[in-house]
C-alpha cells in the first residue's frame, strides 16, 4: 500500500474501545487480502474487539505470520478470485509483486522498477471466492476490507459481492492501477464504477510516480527487501502508475437511504472510528451529529466531538470554540505557511506551493490589468 493518510493515535476510537462496551457484542471484523508482511497496524486500536482474517497465497509466509499472531488474527494460505477454480500464479523477482496477472514486460521494461515484475516462475493454484473462504470460519458480516493483490482487487470484490450488497460493509481500501498496460488487469476506473453501484464513494485517493529508466528522478526512499536487498520503486516525479483508493459507504446520500434506516449504533460508531483512523474527522463529526438520537444511549456524543476536534493555533480547543474561531469573519483557522515550509506533511506542502503559485499568477494578471487600464 502507499500513502493514504493515517492517524495512528485516534483519541475518539480509543475512547470508544476503552471506556464503552459498544463493540462488545458486535466486534470489528476486517478482511486483509494480500497480507504479506502482516496486517495494517492502524487497526490494532480496536484491541480485543477486533477480528482480522488475512489471505495470502504464500504458505510459508502465512506459517511465519501465524507463529506470532494473536488469537484474533488468522493468516489463511489462500488465493482469492472472482470465481472458484484453478489459475496461474506468476511469481516475480520481487516477491511482493507476484500475482494472477502477468507483467507485460514490453511496457514495464521502460520503467525504473522493471526488474521487480520479471516473472521467475509460474504455478497453478486453486482460487476461492471471498464468500467461500470466509464461510469456513463462519464469518457472516465484515466491516472493512483491504486489497493489495497486484491487479486482482476487482476480481476479489466481485467474488465477495454479497458483502457489498447487504450493506454491512462500511469501507474499502484498495490498491489501484491507472495504466492497464502494466499487466492487463482492470484499471482504477473499473473498480470505482463497480463499488459505486453499492453506495460506496471515494474519500481519499493517493498515487505514486514511477520514472522511466532513460532518466530516473530521485527515489522517495532507499527501498530494501526484508533481507536487505535493494530494489527500485517510487520516485519524486514521473508518470502515475498505481496508488490507493479509500472508499466508505456515505450514509447521507440517497443511494444509501435504505441502509441508513436500518443501521445500528455499533455500525455507526465503527464507521466513525474508521473515518477518524483515516484522517477524516470532519466526516466522523457529521455522522455523529446526524445520528445523535440513535447514539445517545450508547455513548456521549459531545465527548466524541471533543475528541475529534483538532488544535487551533497550536492549542487544544473545544468543539464549539473551534467552530466559532473557524467561521469568525475577523479570524479563522489556517495551516501556518511557516509550519508547512518547515516540515509539514508532503500533502500540505504540495497544496501550499500550488496555492502560492496561483496567487502569484493572479497578482501578476491584476497588476497587468490595472496598468493597461491606466489605474494605479
Spell 18-52 as b/e; 16+ CB within 10 A means b. Answer: eeeebbeebbbbbbbbbbbebbbebbebbeebbbb
**Counts for the chain of helices (H) and strands (E), in that order:** 15, 10
Spatial separation of the C-alpha atoms in residues 275 and 287, rounded to whole Å: 10
Give the rounded distance of the alpha carbon of 128 from its chain centre.
24
* C-alpha closest to that of 141 among 127, 157, 160, 128: 160
| Contacts of 216 by beta carbon, 8 Å cutoff, 6+ apart | 112, 232, 235, 238
Spatial separation of the C-alpha atoms in residues 56 and 160, rounded to whole Å: 16
- Answer yes or no: is 46 within a domain: yes
257 and 344 fall within a common domain = no
Query: Residue 376 belongs to what H/E stretch?
Result: none
131 and 256 fall within a common domain = yes
Domain boundary among 263, 294, 309: 263
DSSP 258-294: HHHHH--HHHHHHHHHHHHHTT-HHHHHHHHHHTHHH
| Contacts of 277 by beta carbon, 8 Å cutoff, 6+ apart | 6, 7, 10, 13, 42, 43, 45
CA dist list (Å): 201 to 43, 185, 191: 21, 22, 11
Domain boundary among 263, 285, 303: 263
Q: What is the pLDDT of residue 313?
A: 84
Q: What is the pLDDT of residue 340?
A: 42
- Answer yes or no: is 299 within a domain: no
- Answer yes or no: is 131 within a domain: yes
- Answer yes or no: is 313 within a domain: no
177 and 57 fall within a common domain = yes
- Answer yes or no: is 182 within a domain: yes
DSSP 53-96: EEE-S-HHHHHHHHHH--TTEEEE--EE-SSSEEEEEEEESSGG
Q: What is the pLDDT of residue 314?
A: 86
Spatial separation of the C-alpha atoms in residues 102 and 182, rounded to whole Å: 9
CATH of the domain at 142: 3.40.50.150
Mean pLDDT by 10 residues, the chain (376 residues): 83 96 94 91 95 93 93 94 95 90 96 95 95 93 96 96 91 96 96 97 95 96 88 95 96 95 96 98 98 95 97 91 92 67 48 54 56 54
Q: Where in the sequence is the domain holding 342, given as residue range(s)?
A: 337-372
Tell me the residue length of the chain.
376
353 and 209 fall within a common domain = no
With a threshold of 0.75, does the pTM exceed it? yes
* C-alpha closest to that of 133 among 173, 83, 58: 83
Domain boundary among 241, 263, 285: 263
- Answer yes or no: is 11 within a domain: no
- Answer yes or no: is 309 within a domain: no
Tell me which residue has cell 450508547. Answer: 298
Spatial separation of the C-alpha atoms in residues 281 and 274, rounded to whole Å: 10
Q: What is the pLDDT of residue 217?
A: 97
Give the rounded distance of the alpha carbon of 339 from its chain centre.
26
250 and 341 fall within a common domain = no
For the chain, the domain total comes to: 2
Q: What is the pLDDT of residue 267?
A: 97
Spatial separation of the C-alpha atoms in residues 185 and 178, rounded to whole Å: 10
- Answer yes or no: is 183 within a domain: yes
Spell 161-188 as b/e; 16+ CB within 10 A means b. Answer: bebbeebbbbbbbbbbbebbebbebbbb
Amino acid at each position: 500500500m502507499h500513502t493514504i493518510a493515517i492517524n495512528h493515535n485516534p483519541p475518539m476510537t480509543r475512547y470508544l474501545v476503552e471506556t464503552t462496551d459498544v463493540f462488545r457484542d458486535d466486534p470489528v471484523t476486517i478482511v486483509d487480502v494480500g497480507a504479506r508482511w502482516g496486517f495494517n497496524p492502524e487497526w490494532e486500536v480496536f484491541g480485543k474487539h477486533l477480528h482480522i482474517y488475512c489471505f495470502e497465497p504464500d504458505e510459508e509466509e502465512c506459517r511465519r505470520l501465524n507463529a506470532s499472531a494473536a488469537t484474533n488474527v488468522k493468516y489463511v494460505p489462500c488465493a482469492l478470485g472472482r470465481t472458484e477454480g484453478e489459475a496461474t500464479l506468476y511469481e516475480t523477482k520481487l516477491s511482493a509483486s507476484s500475482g494472477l496477472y502477468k507483467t507485460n514486460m514490453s511496457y514495464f521494461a521502460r520503467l525504473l522498477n522493471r526488474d521487480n515484475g520479471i516473472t521467475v516462475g509460474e504455478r497453478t493454484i486453486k482460487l476461492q471466492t471471498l464468500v467461500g473462504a470466509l464461510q469456513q470460519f463462519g464469518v457472516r458480516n465484515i466491516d472493512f476490507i483491504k486489497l493489495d493483490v497486484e491487479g486482482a482487487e476487482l476480481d476479489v470484490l466481485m467474488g465477495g459481492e454479497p458483502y457489498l450488497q447487504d450493506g454491512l460493509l462500511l469501507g474499502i481500501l484498495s490498491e489501484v492501477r491507472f495504466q492497464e498496460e502494466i499487466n492487463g488487469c482492470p484499471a482504477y476506473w473499473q473498480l470505482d464504477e463497480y463499488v459505486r453501484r453499492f453506495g460506496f464513494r471515494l474519500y481519499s485517493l493517493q498515487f505514486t510516480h514511477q520514472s522511466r529508466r532513460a532518466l530516473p528522478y530521485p527515489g522517495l526512499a532507499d527501498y530494501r527487501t526484508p533481507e536487505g536487498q535493494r530494489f527500485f520503486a517510487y520516485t519524486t516525479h514521473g508518470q502515475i502508475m498505481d496508488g490507493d483508493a479509500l472508499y466508505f459507504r456515505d450514509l447521507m446520500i440517497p443511494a444509501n437511504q435504505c441502509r441508513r434506516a436500518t443501521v445500528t449504533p455499533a455500525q455507526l460508531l465503527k464507521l466513525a472510528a474508521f473515518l477518524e483512523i483515516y484522517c477524516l474527522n470532519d466526516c466522523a463529526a457529521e455522522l455523529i451529529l446526524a445520528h445523535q438520537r440513535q447514539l445517545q444511549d450508547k455513548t456521549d456524543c459531545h465527548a466524541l466531538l471533543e475528541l475529534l476536534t483538532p488544535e487551533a493555533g497550536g492549542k487544544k480547543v473545544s468543539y464549539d470554540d473551534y467552530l466559532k474561531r473557524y467561521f469568525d469573519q475577523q479570524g479563522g483557522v489556517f495551516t501556518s505557511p511557516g509550519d508547512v515550509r518547515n516540515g509539514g506533511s508532503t500533502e500540505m506542502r504540495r497544496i501550499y506551493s500550488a496555492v502560492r503559485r496561483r496567487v502569484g499568477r493572479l497578482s501578476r494578471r491584476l497588476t497587468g490589468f490595472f496598468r493597461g487600464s491606466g489605474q494605479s
